[in-house]
Amino acid sequence: MSVLSALAKATAARTGRAEPIAARRHYHLADRPLVLVPLRLAGEAAAPLAVMLGTAPEDSTVLLVAQPRDRILRLRFIEQLADRVLPYISAFCENAEELTVKSTGETYLRYLDAPQLLVPNLGGVQFLRLLGRSVRFHRTEGENAVAESLPLLGRWLTWFGDRSDFPGSSVCLAMTSVLTAHWASGQSALEDANLAALLGWIDPPAGLTGAQAAALAEDPLTSPPAGPATDPGFDNEELAPLIAAYDGAEHEWAKVIATERLEQALRGQLEPTWRLMWRAVELLRELPEGASVDRRWTDDRSAFSWFVSDIPEGYPQARRDSAVSATRRLLKQEQALDTFQAQRAFDDPRVLIEYRLAGEAFQGTVAECEPERRAKPKSREVPRPYVWVHTTDPFRGRVGETLFRIDRPAQKAEVVAVSDDVVQLELVSGMGQGKNPAVGSVPEEGDPIGFARFSPSGFGGPPAKLPPREETPWTHGGPPPDPAAEHQEEWS
């Protein structure tokens, strides 16, 4: 935890309300996200019990398994889930744009939008991943064949789970993680994993402090767990007798009645979380979207488009990554994390404060400027204005190092000299292609301005090149690599 985050938590504990730590929303929110609130049977890693899903607060559907230990009923439940999730995904495969890779001349389709799944917490993401893994290898022909929609849903749930591992991706979001990236509560990180308690700090009811609202959320009778695990008291006192009543029913009408009672009980567990999910969406929509969010969503659309094109091949994802593919995946995740953190800092002044305190960036005021200065670094003279920036930030620049302008990330400057509170810079790019700097590209005396040691591409500069097989990067709009060759031996 950084000093600023610790200060925000201490302030929240003192004021009784969560403290904003971001002025922009750093995740894409779809116009029609698919919200899922899953529940699983206690003691079973991937035994589904129920799920409430829908694309609007008033449009909810509850699916349940009357006996989660019954394999046939579980498969029937997953088939019903597929009947609702797959059409939602297919709706985004109607409109696409055709793009061309400059290096190879190949063309590919990129869909104009992509699906988005919202779940209450990281446990929900992990449960969907396990559920997908449990069915994506099922056979659709021969003995014990299942409907084609089951392994297809398994592949999609696996893809959503894998994609959620990439920082900045928005196709599968855990609501508690998104909220804690924008607000700091006055409780521990472990308590922040409780959606009701976290929202109690962010948006407490009238007349209550965040701590009081969070304390009320600890009562499982008024605020049932957000899943996927259920409350042990509910399991023992309500769920177990209802499942036993279903098992003991000898007639079909008795099973129908037992199922209806079970659904009523499970709705009571799901509906509070359902309302919390949509309240969280409302709060996030009130934040203005960060400038780089659309670029990252383009990455998600590219990954989605590639996976759609890969579906007809019929190969499910490998049970486990090989050493090479795992290394590539880790490298991509590290690059995505660097890029995400840097872009958040450039988009959001609240996030940038963290880096200003660490001496990695600074904000100040232009004390003096030489906009007409020119230099001849190569064969011809070009604009090279000098700018003197007065700052009180603890920035200690090194002469000759390159900095990136916060409000114009394409503009670079080199440090010429550093005094106690003034940094002298030479602007070296981002001023247009003409003989004179473009209008507005050179700051004037008195203008606020800021620079950082890192670029929006990440803290290490441009992303490192991947092995030759992946020379065409799929990030920022390009098509992703085809993993068929490296996983062929693992599909079994």
Q: How much of the chain exceeds pLDDT 90, in percent?
A: 67
The predicted pLDDT at position 468 comes to 40
pLDDT digits (tens, 9 = 90+) for 217-243: 988 888 899 989 999 999 999 999 999
- Give CA–CA dist 389/412, Å, rounded: 14
33 is written with which tokens? Answer: 């996200």
Q: Residue 153: is its pLDDT beyond 50?
A: yes
Residue 149 pLDDT exceeds 70: yes
> Per-residue DSSP letters for 88-99?
HHHTTSS-EEEE
Closest CA relative to residue 20, chosen from 4, 8, 6, 2: 8
pLDDT for the residue numbered 433: 82
User: Please, which residues have CB within 8 angstroms of residue 195's CB and are 6 or more apart in sequence?
Assistant: 120, 121, 175, 176, 226, 273, 276, 277, 280
Residue 460 binned pLDDT confidence (cut-offs 50, 70, 90): low
What is 320-363 written as a DSSP string?
S--HHHHHHHHHHHHHHHHHHHHHHHHH-HHHHHHHHHTTSEEE
Output 434 or 428, whichever has higher pLDDT: 428
Q: For the segment 106-119, what is each residue's pLDDT rounded down to a tens digit?
A: 888 899 999 999 99
For tokens 């290490």, name the residue. Answer: 460
pLDDT band for position 74 (cuts 50, 70, 90): very high
- pLDDT, greater one: 48 or 492: 48
Domains and CATH numbers, the chain: 3-317 (no CATH), 348-452 (2.40.30.20)
Query: Looking at the predicted structure, is the pLDDT value of residue 94 above 70?
Result: yes
Return the closest-CA partner of residue 320 out of 154, 151, 489: 489
Tell me the backbone φ, ψ of residue 226, rounded to 5 degrees.
Answer: -80, 5
| 275/175 Cα distance (integer angstroms) | 13
Return the pLDDT at 139.
Answer: 87
Angle at the Cα of 59 from the Cα atoms of 57 and 62, rounded to 5 degrees: 105
Q: What are 340-377's pLDDT values in tens digits?
A: 999 999 999 999 999 999 999 999 999 999 998 988 87
* pLDDT for the residue numbered 107: 86
Question: Cα–Cα distances in Å, from 365 out to 209, 388, 389, 449, 450?
Answer: 40, 8, 5, 6, 8
Q: What is the pLDDT of residue 464?
A: 42
- CB count within 10 Å of CB 20 equals 14
Give me the mean pLDDT over the 390-418 stretch: 93
- Asked whether the beta carbons of 22 and 351 are under 8 A apart, the reply is yes
How many residues in the chain?
492
Residue type, 62: V
> What is the DSSP secondary structure assignment for residue 464, as one 8-state letter?
P
CA distance 372 to 437: 9
Beta strands at 374-375 and 382-383: parallel, antiparallel or unpaired: antiparallel
**Strand ranges, E, within 196-326:** none
Instruction: Point out the least confidently predicted range of 115-129, 208-222, 358-372, 474-488.
Output: 474-488
Residue 286 has pLDDT above 50, yes or no: yes
**What's the distance, Cα to Cα, between the start and end of the chain in Å?**
43
Let me know: does 67 contact 50? Beta carbons within 8 Å: no
pTM for this entry: 0.88
State residue 458's pLDDT score.
78
Beta carbons within 8 Å of 104's beta carbon, 6+ residues apart: 472
Q: Please state, in angstroms and rounded to a whole number, the distance separating the CA atoms of residues 268 and 265.
A: 5
* pLDDT at residue 5 in the model: 86
Q: Residues with Cβ < 8 Å from 179, sequence gap 6 or more?
A: 192, 198, 199, 202, 280, 283, 284
Question: How much is the pLDDT for 322?
Answer: 83
Confidence (pLDDT) at 365: 96
> Could you read off the pLDDT of 258-273 as tens digits, one per residue?
999 999 999 999 999 9
Q: What is the pLDDT of residues 169-203, one digit of tens each?
A: 999 999 999 999 999 999 999 999 999 999 999 99
pLDDT for residue 397: 87
Mean pLDDT of the chain: 88
Q: Give the C-alpha separation, 388 to 338, whole Å.
A: 29
Rounded CA gap, 48 and 41, in Å? 6
pLDDT in tens, 295-346: 999 999 999 999 998 888 767 777 788 888 889 989 999 999 999 999 999 9
